[in-house]
């Protein structure tokens, strides 16, 4: 069964520093998608970045990059130059393929605290 | 605003009462998903629709839960005889017509249910 594991319940980072949020996944599918979402205290889920299982290059979106290591089944999120507004919950997620209805499986999340 | 909308945003009810939530997806999105998120956890898949057809239900969706999407547009999630364990954020998401792995699921703001 598909599973997402985030082992860091909470992380602290100094403003302007970089931080890595860990994510490992388990699937028997060959084709899958990996996502990171940000959830601020207001509750909405904000899409950050996507990595396809066949993508050879790591995805980047502005200050966000995804360190994709397929053999290790890891998809860590790197946030560069942290800002106070980055303080939030971060969820790693995996999208199942068409057979699974393209539904998304989420990890338990990591709460990031950015210190001034 | 043409995003996913959910109503109500907050609902407080007494144990044993029935509640109904509504989700309006982005127009022309034919896939609609319901997730439940308890405090400190990631969202958990409940059910999804393709147009008006409910194609999958999680085992989390007990007999007290029912979801409909009668005309393939908005959806309702009803919980009968609510229990304190039903207290959670209920999230709705929709996906574009031609869903692939890298399509973003657009999430609504959620309905926070508190059962007293």
User: CB under 8 Å to B56, separation ≥6 — which residues?
Assistant: A100, A101, A103, B47, B48
Query: Looking at the partner chain, which of A98, A103, A107 has a beta carbon nearest the beta carbon of B45?
Result: A103
Inter-chain touch B104–A50, beta carbons under 8 Å: yes
How far is it, in rounded angstroms, from Cα B85 to Cα A30?
A: 36
- The alpha carbon torsion through A87, A88, A92, A93 (nearest 10 deg) reads -150
- Pick the residue of B42, B58, B103 with the most A CBs within 10 A to test the interface with A by mutation: B42
Question: In tens digits, what is the pLDDT along chain B, a chain of 116 residues?
Answer: 579 999 999 999 999 999 999 999 998 888 999 999 998 899 999 999 989 999 888 888 889 999 999 988 999 999 999 999 999 999 999 988 666 666 778 899 999 999 99
How far is it, in rounded angstroms, from Cα A91 to Cα B75?
A: 25
Whether residue A1 is predicted with pLDDT greater than 80 in this model: the reply is no
pLDDT (mean) for A62-90: 97
């Amino acid at each position: 069964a598909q599973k997402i594991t985030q082992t860091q319940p909470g992380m602290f980072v100094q403003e302007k520093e970089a931080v890595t949020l860990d994510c490992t996944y388990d699937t028997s599918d060959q084709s899958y998608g990996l996502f990171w979402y940000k959830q601020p205290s207001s509750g909405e889920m904000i899409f950050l970045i996507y990595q396809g299982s066949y993508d050879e290059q790591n995805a980047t979106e502005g200050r966000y990059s995804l360190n994709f290591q397929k053999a290790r089944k890891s998809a860590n999120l790197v946030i560069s130059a942290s800002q106070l507004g980055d303080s939030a919950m971060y969820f790693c997620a995996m999208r199942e393929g068409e057979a699974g209805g393209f539904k998304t499986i989420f990890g338990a999340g990591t709460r990031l605290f950015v210190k001034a | 605003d043409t995003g996913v909308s959910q109503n109500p945003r907050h609902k407080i009810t007494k144990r044993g009462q029935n509640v109904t939530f509504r989700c309006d997806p982005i127009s022309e999105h034919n896939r609609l998903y319901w997730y439940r998120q308890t405090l400190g956890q990631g969202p958990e898949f409940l059910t999804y629709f393709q147009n008006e057809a409910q194609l999958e239900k999680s085992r989390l969706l007990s007999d007290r839960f029912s979801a409909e999407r009668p005309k393939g547009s908005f959806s309702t999630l009803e919980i009968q005889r609510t229990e304190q364990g039903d207290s959670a954020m209920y999230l709705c998401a929709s996906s574009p017509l031609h869903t692939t792995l890298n399509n973003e699921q657009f999430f609504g703001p959620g309905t926070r249910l508190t059962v007293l």
